[in-house]
Every structure is written in C-alpha cells, then in structure tokens.
Structure 1
Amino acid sequence: MNYISSIGSYSIMVREVFKKPTKWSIMKSLILKEIDELIYGSMGIVIFISIFMGGVVAIQTALNLTNPFIPKDLIGFATRQSVILEFAPTFTSIIMAGKVGSYITSSIGTMRVTEQIDALEVMGVNSLNYLVFPKIIAMFLYPFVVAIAMYLGIFGGLIANILGNHSTSTEFIQGIQLDFIPFHVTYSFIKSVVFAFIIATVPSFHGYYMKGGALDVGKASTTSFVWTSVVIIITNFVLTQLLLG
C-alpha cells in the first residue's frame, strides 16, 4: 500500500512541476546551472567508464572465440551491439543515477531540512517548478552524453583489441559495419530520453518529500539511488520488449 501511495505522490509531483512556471529570466539561469552540474560535470566519469567498458567487452569476446573457424570481425560486431544496445544507454544511466541522482536528492533534501523550500512557497513561488523543472530540461541533453558513450565505448574496444593483438583494426572495423541496423541507435536514444526523465524526477521526489534532519539526507540519497536504479532496469525491460520484441 505504501508503494501505491508513493506512486500517487510521484504522479502528483510530476504534474505540479509543470504548473505555475517561474519567470523565464530566472529559469534560464537555473537551467544553465543544472546543465553545468548534471551534464558537463558528469562527462569525466562517463568518458572514463565508456572507454574501459568497450575495452572489456572486446577482450571478453576475443577470449571466447576459441574456434578458428569463427571470423575475427565478430569481435567488432559484438562490441558494437553490446555498447549501443545496452552498455551506453543503460549502464551509463545506472552510473548517472548514482552520481547525478545523489546530488539532486541531497541538494533538494538539504533545502527541505533548512526550510528553504517553505520560504519559496511563502513567497508564492512554485517550488517544484523552480527546483525540478530545470533539472528535467537539463537532462534532456543526456542523449548527447549517451552518444559520446557509444562512440568512446566502441573506440575503447578498438584500442583494447589492437593492444591485445586479438585481431587487426581492419577486421574490427568490418565487424562494426557488419549487419548494422540504424534503428538500434534510435532505440538507444529513446531509452536515454526516458532514463533522463527518471534520473531527474525520482531523486527529486525523494529529496522533496524527505522527512527528518540533516542525517536523513544521506539516507534519502541512498534510497533514491536504489529506487532510481530499479525503475531504470524495469523500464529498460519494458522498452526493449516494446521496441525490439
């Protein structure tokens, strides 16, 4: 029953976010600030993880090709499929749920504890629109992050393949081009947009409605990460069934 009430509260929160918008002159600066914090500030960890993630996929694929009759270009093919379909959009989103989600929950939760949200409401400001809407708009740039993760994941696979002398660069690139389906990229971008909305709103929900003192902010951040990850995984299953099933 508690889960049902939480879903109801979440739905109400999402509706309230888009009501009584803040003045654009103020909102613009808030959006730019969130882009810097949520998107630009996350590029370092995304780049690092993507390169090594692609490298690991390429190495594991190469080490499992024990049959000499299996063509070596399968390494590039498997790396491309794994990175584009799952690792770039989904695994990166789990990482972002930890980094970005914890930041969102802790920042909003701290404002709740210090009664800054109450002050906004007293001044007649829609606090949900003021706090959450800029994060949603900023996270709509998340597909660009996923695109970079795709490119660097495949590039990392190429570098690991060459350094490990598993196959030639020509064979790896041929594998990347083998039976390429453009819709797979579209599918990944669709998932990334949905995941971006989840990463922006679920942590905001846990931060906005948290109760207690300063010590409870950390607990709310942990709970936020767990539930954001769960929602991403379930949504990933549903979208995969709908779009590729």
Structure 2
Amino acid sequence: MAGMFSILRKSEFLVEVGHIARFAARFFSEGFQPRYEFREFIRQCYWVGYKSLPLVGITAFIMGLVLTIQSRPTLVEFGAESMLPSMVAISLVREISPVITALICAGKIGSGMGAELGSMRVTEQIDAMEVSGTNPFKYLIVTRILATTLMLPVLSSLSNAIALYGGYLGVNIRGAVSWHLYWSQVFDALSYGDLVPSLVKTFFFGFAIGLIGCYKGYYSTKGTEGVGRSANSAVVVASLLVFIIDLIAVQITDLLNLT
C-alpha cells in the first residue's frame, strides 16, 4: 500500500513538471509574437522592480553589515584582518546577494502573482478576457514573466552595491579604512569571472520566479482556498528552483574554471 502511494506521488510530481514545461513552451511560442503589450509590461516592471527595491535594499544593507561584523573576529584571529573587504566582496557578489535577492522576490513577487492571477481565475475575469477577444496569456502571463526576468538582474546589481556599502560601514565600526582603500580592495578582488556568472544566473532566477508564480495562479482552482494554496505553493516551488538553478550555475562555473 505504501509503495502504491509512493508511485502515485511520483506520478503526480512528473505530471506537474510536464504541465510547467508545457506552460513555459507556450510562453516562448506566444511571448515574442505580435501583438505586444508594452504598457502592461512597463507597469509590471514598475511593480516588480521599483516596488521591491526598498525591501531588497534594506535587506542587502543589513546583510553586508552583518556579514562584515561576523567575519572580522575570525580574520583577526588569523591575522588577516586586511583581507576583510576582499572576502566580503567576493562572498556577496558571487553568491549571497543574488540568492537572497531572488528568495525575497520569490516570497514577495511569486506569492503576489499567484494570489492575483488565482483570484482572477476563480472570479472568472480571465474567462471574461477570453470571451471579449483579448489573449489573457499574452496580457497577463507574458508581461509578468518578462518583467521578473529583466528586473531581477537590476535588483541584484543594486543589492550588490548596497550590500558592499553596508560592508564599508561594518569595516569601519571597529577599524579605520578609508573610502578609497576599501573600494580599491573590493575591485581588486573581483573579476569578470565573479560578476558575469552572478549576473547571468539572476536572469534564470527571475524567469523561474515569474513562471512558477504565473503558472500556480493561472491554473488555480477551488475558490478562495485555492488562491491561498496557489500563493503558498508558488513561494515554495520558486524558492526551491532558485536553489536548484544556483547549484547548476555553481557546477557550470566550476567546470569553466571561473571560480
């Protein structure tokens, strides 16, 4: 009996993966064909990017400050306190800042899209758009996925800058490092092998967050209860995909000797 339930769970998982893959294929087939919804796309970029910036910025600042303060005692113990700006810069730019930014966006944007589209589905607004001759997939789904795909790299880049500034303040809490010296050490430590993979993977983070949030909301069922489930599952699945994509990106950069 337990084996049968295990098989059923595995089959449901594979069916869900197939539906998501078909949803993504539909995005690529319809997303780059006219008519383009530029106004809705710009509106979604505003909500995804500008409205998420305060939360991302505050989190990045605290993250850079705390990482610097927590790392100092260990480096002092080994007499390597001068390496603190370089270590913080590499840690933030390579891994911490892009992943934390993506997780914040998965929680805020993914759940918001799942709840918004889910409520539109259960109140039959999407059906009304189809009846009126509007393509709801292009208007609702394509614009949102493109907005998250393009805005997440922007948010991640701003997060890097704000976190490094927080690191500068953290270095000067118990030390005295000039502005010029701090940023000289930061940029000497970083290379294109750190910046480019970090930026490229954020496009995939954004695509995954938008895809899952839209998929869960677009196919929401069971009334208001289904809307809550769509928002919750969108956050869980999108966060899991962020970690999986990050793992794959790390393996690829290691194979290419970019680490």
TM-score between the two structures when normalised by the length of structure 2: 0.87
The residue number in structure 2 matching 1:134 is: 143
The residue number in structure 1 matching 2:200 is: 190
The residue number in structure 1 matching 2:250 is: 240
Structure 2 residue aligned with 1:203, among 209, 213, 228?
213
**1:66, 1:123 → 2: CA distance?**
68
* Identical-residue share of aligned pairs (%): 24
Give secondary structure in 2 for the equivalent of 1:232: helix
Query: How many residue pairs are counted as aligned between the two chains?
Result: 241
**2:46, 2:187 → 1: CA distance?**
35
The residue identity in structure 1 corresponding to 2:249 is: L
The residue number in structure 1 matching 2:6 is: none
Q: Offset of 1:190 from its aligned partner? A: 0.6
The residue identity in structure 2 corresponding to 1:190 is: V
Give secondary structure in 2 for the equivalent of 1:138: helix
Check conservation: 2:102, 2:152, Cα contact below 8 A. no
Give secondary structure in 1 for the equivalent of 2:51: helix
Q: What is the RMSD of the two structures over their aligned residues, measured on CA atoms?
A: 1.8
The residue number in structure 2 matching 1:19 is: 30
- Tell which deviates more after alignment, 207-216 or 229-238: 207-216
**1:149, 1:197 → 2: CA distance?**
18
Q: What are the residue-to-residue correspondences of 1:36-55 with 2, within 5 Å? A: 36-55=46-65
Check conservation: 1:97, 1:228, Cα contact below 8 A. yes
Give secondary structure in 2 for the equivalent of 1:98: helix
Check conservation: 1:52, 1:156, Cα contact below 8 A. yes
Check conservation: 1:73, 1:175, Cα contact below 8 A. no
Assess, with a 3 A threshold, how the Cα gap between structure 1 residues 234 and 146 changes in structure 2: closer, same or farther. Answer: same
Q: Offset of 1:108 from its aligned partner? A: 0.5
Are residue 84 (structure 1) and residue 93 (structure 2) matched?
yes
TM-score between the two structures when normalised by the length of structure 1: 0.92
The residue number in structure 2 matching 1:74 is: 83
The residue identity in structure 2 corresponding to 1:218 is: G
Q: Offset of 1:16 from its aligned partner? A: 2.0
Check conservation: 2:101, 2:156, Cα contact below 8 A. yes
The residue number in structure 2 matching 1:103 is: 112
- Tell which deviates more after alignment, 165-174 or 206-215: 165-174
